[in-house]
Amino acid sequence: MLRVGESRCPCLRSSRLVAVPRLPARRRPSSEERSVGLLLAAGRLAIGAGIWLAPGPSLKALGFDAPDGQALTLARMAGARDLILGAWQASSLSDRSELGRATIAITAADACDVIAFAAVTRSGGPLRASVLGLAGAVPATALGAWLAARLRG
């Protein structure tokens, strides 16, 4: 029978506390970098969850016409992408290099979204969808590029 304070594990028998190592300051993002990373991750998670859980209303809110079954499938795929990228970025907020890698990936995805939304009207799609999509994707791309450049330096 073990008494209070005893342990069978030799590493837990010591009565002294063991400090958890922290990353060196240069490896941690600044509070400003963390805030921007959190903002980008939260936005991506919110959009991804909305598109995954309610693709029809989400596509209508983005300015698209009533989607068919194929469009709903593609929307859910995009929602899954955003959920995964947002979770990666959110989980990387305490490590500068990992946050940098996640930010480069989400910025590349946002840049591709800019191209896709710009092409909507060229392919005969609704102008409203193009404008609303660009209104979100362009600032996200610019903010992501700013953060990625800052994390590299």
On whether the CB atoms of residues 27 and 97 are closer than 8 A, the answer is: yes
Tally of CB atoms within 10 A around 152: 11
Report d(CA 61, CA 80) in Å as an integer: 18
Q: Which two tokens stand for residue 4?
A: 């209070």
Q: Give pLDDT, residue 64.
A: 86
Q: Which pLDDT tens digit goes with each residue over 45-55?
A: 999 999 999 99
Look up the pTM and report it: 0.78
pLDDT tens-digit series, residues 61-106: 888 888 899 989 999 999 999 999 999 999 999 999 999 999 999 9
State pLDDT tens for residues 57-66.
999 988 888 8
